[in-house]
Structure 1
């Protein structure tokens, strides 16, 4: 057993602790996240529409149009479910008695 090998290990490094964010910074971060997510959904809808137009002119295969359409549909459904949960949560908070 080689005891000297233990001394060759590097010490455990601690990660830098991030500073505490203010409520305004958190709100801005959440707002930008939400905005980016909605922009992604919109871009998927626009891409699906463009693919349908391209299919009508004969430039794109049917399976590509179907995939783009399903992707946009799933993204929109997810967005609607998240919206519904947010509204439901807000209503539940408003019903709480203080």
Structure 2
């Protein structure tokens, strides 16, 4: 078996230039991501509250639907709080760094 033959297979691969983003583009992208995420969490909370109210009024018979919506909104809120805590912790760590 000729191992050197494998090195000839490689050929020329084009160089792909990564796209560079400006600070404004990154800021807008990040802020829109956070805004969308908060909107989704809020929507899940509202949906859970609506399903709970409908279940209490007897309009919904399936408790599973209500429980799943409640757990989904709870997990989303917990994740949001953990991300917030990590961001605050990172900010505080950066502020403690000596210049």
| Comparing 58-67 and 72-81, the one that deviates more | 58-67
Count of matched residue positions in the alignment of Structure 1 and Structure 2: 88
Is 1:53 equivalent to 2:53 in the alignment? yes
Structure 2 unaligned segments of length 5 or more: list them: 1-10
Give the corresponding residue for 2:83.
Answer: 82
Q: State the distance in 1 between where 2:94 and 2:69 align.
A: 38
Q: After TM superposition, which residue ranges in structure 1, 4 or more long, deviate above 4 angstroms? A: 11-16
The 1:21–1:57 alpha-carbon spacing in structure 2 relative to 1, beyond 3 Å, is: same
Alpha-carbon shift at residue 19 of structure 1 (Å): 2.9
SS of alignment partner, residue 20 of structure 2: coil
Give the corresponding residue for 1:3.
Answer: none
TM-score, scaled to structure 1: 0.81
Aligned CA-pair RMSD: 1.8
The 1:17–1:76 alpha-carbon spacing in structure 2 relative to 1, beyond 3 Å, is: same
TM-score, scaled to structure 2: 0.80
The 5-angstrom pairing of residues 1-98 of structure 1 reads 14=14, 17-60=17-60, 61-98=62-99
Structure 1 unaligned segments of length 5 or more: list them: 1-10
Alpha-carbon shift at residue 20 of structure 1 (Å): 1.0
Alpha-carbon shift at residue 87 of structure 1 (Å): 0.0
The 1:56–1:97 alpha-carbon spacing in structure 2 relative to 1, beyond 3 Å, is: same
